[in-house]
Amino acid sequence: MKYIIGIGGITNGGKTTLTNNLIKTLPNCCVVHQDDFFKKPDQIEVGKDGFRQWDVVTALDMEAMTNTVKAWMENPVKFARSHGVTVSPASDVSDQLDHIHILIVEGFLLYNYEPLLEVFDKCYYIEIPYEECKRRRSTRQYTVPDPPGLFDGHVWPMYLKHRKEMEDSGLNIECLNGLNSKEEIYNQVYEDIQNNLLNRL
């Protein structure tokens, strides 16, 4: 059985932390990170807001990302091996789940690209309020540093725009409170995934 989990959400909300914790405990689990599909800086256009448009779908090679997800769907075992993932059951998961293959797709614009929408079995979305998001973003070191004013001028407005698009997409998305502790978020999601998988057996 194949099971695809989307972990979307706001910038600096805790998507990667949650993903990394889940990979350690879910059986036969691979991951596709949306951040790996950013185009080169010189391919990112400058918008009317005066900033390079990093926080939009066109900044990413979404076709390549979708093809990567489809490659996993076609042959999860081959995909896992080629990505250095050992295909064997995790010790703390009941034997029934051994034959399940899980893919986590993680990113900030997961639910805004139509060809990807149909692949998810379960969608999560981590949200945090404006003040906390701005605070966390200001403490992060990026390869391409944020120019002054980027958060209020581009990042936050794009987040609000894409969030509305996502809400209008009709996808069944479970929102998670990113202010909760890492452990609480992980436990909530892990338990939910376990229940979903057991219900499918």
Q: Which of 35, 49, 98, 152 is catalytic?
A: 35
Integer Cα distance of 139 and 147 in angstroms: 14
> What would the two tokens of residue 25 be?
């405990």
Integer Cα distance of 112 and 126 in angstroms: 15
Long-range CB contacts for residues 128-136, cutoff 8 Å, separation at least 24:
128/10, 128/12, 128/13, 128/14, 128/177, 128/178, 128/179, 129/179, 130/156, 132/178, 132/179, 133/10, 133/11, 133/12, 133/13, 133/159, 136/12
Check if 92 is active-site: no
Phi, psi of 22 (to 5 degrees): -70, -40
Active site residues: 35
